Structure 1
Amino acid sequence: MARYIGPKTKIARRYNEPIFGENKFTHKKQYKRVYRGKRFKKNDYISQLFEKQKLKYIYGILERQCRKIFKRASSIKGNTGDIFLQLLERRLDNVIYRLGISTSRSGARQLVCHGHIKVNAHIVNIPSYYLKPGDIIEIAEKSKSHNAIKQALSSIKVPIVSWLSWNKEKMLGTFQHLPNRNNIPENINDQLIVEWYSK
């Protein structure tokens, strides 16, 4: 499946944020972006497009997936923007990243695809699998000694969010409840994305 494999620091500079986590971008002096010799000014169209593209880079999804998730969110009763982000946070690859089992979402996706993760005692190899409240996420027995997993767990830098819990001894996590918009740490203006897809 197609994924972005280009220069990550370039993308981080474009959005003036560490999109893919901490890298050399975060240690360099930031400059305002210049476009064709003039100050780069954003209009409504560009602001909406940039926000949508930023979200896709953060969660590592493609346009077709993003549109499909938005369509599902818009069919559920409630605030479309909040539900849209909620669905993205419920993805298995994102939850693995949030729990600190992997240091990045791309790494989490690889762990899932290679069968290192169990959900409710069954191996799940679909990164886009939606978790429900009460689901138990654990590392497969054969994978508990995996170097990448051990290294990630020993140096957890990503804080575990309020809707997840992690048992260090048993090496398993629990999806406790659906996340609220205020508790999602990503700097995303979901209203601009809703406006983009509502055209």
Structure 2
Amino acid sequence: MEEDWQWIQEVLSGNKQAYAHIINKYKNQLYATILRMTRNPHNAQDLVQEAFIKVYQQLGKYDNKGSFSKWMYRVAINHCMDEFRKKSYKMKQVEINEEKVVNPNHPEVIFLKKEKNRQLERLIAALPEDERMIILLRYVNELSYSEISELSELPVSSVRNKLHRAKQKMRASVKLEGGYFHELSNDR
């Protein structure tokens, strides 16, 4: 976007305060993405801060040939994946505050929804980091194969293959364990 390019030019010309505009514009989206990857609010906050530092340090490499947001996400996600590999982050469950979720009119519906979400989180958490990231980018962030390819710096064919393998692993888990995702076990 033109606005992003203007802020970037200001930062590169010495106006360090202009970077605050970029942070304010993208911080919530980036936090949401990283939180989905880590499923831990503390780790996500730390990684977002580190990612913005990394983006700032590499700002001179952005050439305005593509979307700044995609470039920024690629830098941030690459940083996260590097940190996952270095520190072997373990995903932790984010518990839902039941008092806010409980609907007294339909407690069984609420219970089933929570159980289904927990099972889905377990299925995704069991995947290798690269496949987990691709599943989240595709189905949570609703990115296209080409957008995921750009962010992950993988060919589109590799993105499709990893996505296919991830779904196969999830299907196999559902077949073994049973549970709420019977639609996954129907080889769709």
TM-score (norm. length: structure 1): 0.25
TM-score (norm. length: structure 2): 0.26
Higher RCO (C-alpha 8 Å, min separation 6): 1
Q: Specify which structure has the higher proportion of helix.
A: 2
Q: Specify which structure has the higher proportion of strand.
A: 1
Q: Max radius of gyration: which structure?
A: 2
